[in-house]
């Protein structure tokens, strides 16, 4: 009986202790909540959390959330319609590529010297034509010299437009960064670059064809690079769809002539035998930087394995170069040869940067104006944005 009494007393003491601790916590909580600084901090935290879209959605009634889900279903359907739109755009690109091609073929003939433009075809009015007219008097004074120079030029008239595509590679930073000194004599044999689109009913893709004249480096007359594209929303993230994207690419095998492969280099390495201590020299081929590695791209894994960061960067750069050839270089080759297209690109980029700087300046000006508009406001406090 004594033992039972002791147990009951211990239990009673435990309950009392727990009750006392609970009362103490409540009093402490009351004291904390009466502290203005604590309340201000809590209110600020609540205000910040209430401004996030996700937290706002969580506060909505279930019926409203249900309607939002229905809107997302509609958005997914919109993405699939957009994908169909881009498929038809691809069909249009294929159709108009066929219309462009005769002009590109004539361009190639002029470049390689297979044809000579007529006087009408070669007539071009310069932007500086008026200045040239004003300088007519000076030109008249050197007519004899010009005739002599023209006669000399006719005697040394080169075939076509020498180094046309090589000059484009040299002019465009994105390409010149890939070209090594030992690539240059090979690229001087490049006669044309073509873009070909996938046929109707085939998966979306485009190919780049680099046409070379016979040379001392490889036996291929055409080097190809094919870019595979996808124009459909991702099942796991349909809202990220923004149009067709390049998802993979395939190169070709370059049939290098003996000793002419610039994509590899031979190194000599000394090896020491562990047992006998003798040393021998071995030769080994290792990869070498070259533009022609462009035709041996990194292969995207089909089993879903992710690439390392360097490989992803290399592949993304490859896709960007392929897209640039297709959208800019091939359609506007002569303007990249003369440098006019490069100037246009630079001016466009400078214009975008100028707009960004102007917007930043306007924002800073608005902040200063808001701060100065109220002389009673402490300038050390951050300016509040006005609600529209």
pLDDT at 363: 53
Query: Among candidates 109, 108, 298, which has minimal Cα distance to 209?
Result: 108
pLDDT at 201: 86
pLDDT at 207: 96
Contact at 8 Å (CB) between 229 and 212? no
Q: Under 8 Å CB-to-CB from 377, ≥6 apart: which residues?
A: 371
Rounded-to-integer distance, Cα 315 and Cα 306, Å: 12
- What global pTM score does this model have? 0.68
Q: Within 10 A of 262 (CB to CB), how many other CB atoms are there?
A: 21
Q: List average pLDDT for each run of 10 residues in the chain, which is 388 residues long.
A: 54 60 62 65 61 77 90 93 90 93 96 94 75 53 56 70 97 96 97 95 93 97 94 85 87 96 88 73 88 91 69 89 95 95 68 57 51 42 39
> What are the φ/ψ torsions at residue 120 (nearest 5 degrees)?
-65, -40
pLDDT at 120: 93
Q: Within 10 A of 61 (CB to CB), how many other CB atoms are there?
A: 8
């Amino acid at each position: 009986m004594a033992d039972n009494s002791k147990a009951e007393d211990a239990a009673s003491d435990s309950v009392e202790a727990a009750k006392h601790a609970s009362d103490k916590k409540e009093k402490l909580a009351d004291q904390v909540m009466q502290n203005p600084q604590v309340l201000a901090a809590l209110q600020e935290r609540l205000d910040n959390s209430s401004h996030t879209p996700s937290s706002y959605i969580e506060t909505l009634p279930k019926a409203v959330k249900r309607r939002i889900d229905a809107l997302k279903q509609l958005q997914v359907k919109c993405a699939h319609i957009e994908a169909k739109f881009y498929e038809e755009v691809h069909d249009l690109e294929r159709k108009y590529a066929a219309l462009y091609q005769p002009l590109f073929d004539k361009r190639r003939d002029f470049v390689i010297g297979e044809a000579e433009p007529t006087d009408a075809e070669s007539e071009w009015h310069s932007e500086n034509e008026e200045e040239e007219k004003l300088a007519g008097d000076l030109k008249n004074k050197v007519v004899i010299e010009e005739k002599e120079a023209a006669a000399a030029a006719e005697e040394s008239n080169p075939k076509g437009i020498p180094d046309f595509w090589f000059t484009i590679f040299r002019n465009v930073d994105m390409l010149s960064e890939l070209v090594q000194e030992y690539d240059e004599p090979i690229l001087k044999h490049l006669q044309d670059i073509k873009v070909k689109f996938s046929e109707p009913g085939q998966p979306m893709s485009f190919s780049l064809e680099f046409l070379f004249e016979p040379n001392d480096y490889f036996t291929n007359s055409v080097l190809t690079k094919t870019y595979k594209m996808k124009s459909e929303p991702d099942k796991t993230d349909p809202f990220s769809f923004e149009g067709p994207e390049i998802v993979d690419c395939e190169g070709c095998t370059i049939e290098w002539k003996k000793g002419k492969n610039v994509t590899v280099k031979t190194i000599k390495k000394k090896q020491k035998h562990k047992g006998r201590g003798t040393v021998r020299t071995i030769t080994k081929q290792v990869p070498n930087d070259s533009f022609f590695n462009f035709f041996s791209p990194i292969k995207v894994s089909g089993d879903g394995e992710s690439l390392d960061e360097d490989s992803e960067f290399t592949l993304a750069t490859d896709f960007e170069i392929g897209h640039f050839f297709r959208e800019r270089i091939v359609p506007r080759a002569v303007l990249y040869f003369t440098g006019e297209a490069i100037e246009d690109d630079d001016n466009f980029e400078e214009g975008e940067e100028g707009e960004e700087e102007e917007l930043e300046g306007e924002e800073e000006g608005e902040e200063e104006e808001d701060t100065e508009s109220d002389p009673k406001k402490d300038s050390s406090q951050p300016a509040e944005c006005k609600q529209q």
